[in-house]
Structure 1
Amino acid sequence: TPLHLNKVRDPDDQLVLLPHGLLRHHCCYPGCPEFLRDLRTENDLDAADAGKAGDVSESTRRNGLWQHLSPKTWYYARRSDAFLVPRVHRIARGVMDEAQTLHHFVDLTMRKLEEELRGRPAYAEIQEPWLKECVTALYGEYLGIMGV
Structure 2
Amino acid sequence: MDHGLGIPGDGRCLFRSVVQGTCLRAGKPSPSERLQKELADELRSKVADEFIKRRKDTEWFLEGDFDSYVVQMRQPHIWGGEPELLMASHVLQMPITVFMKDENSGSLKIIAEYGQEYGKDKPIWVLYHGYGHYDALRNPIGAAESKL
TM-score by length of 1: 0.31
The structure with more radius of gyration: 1
**Which structure shows the higher strand fraction?**
2
| Structure with more helix by fraction | 1
Normalised to the residue count of structure 2, the TM-score between the two structures is 0.31
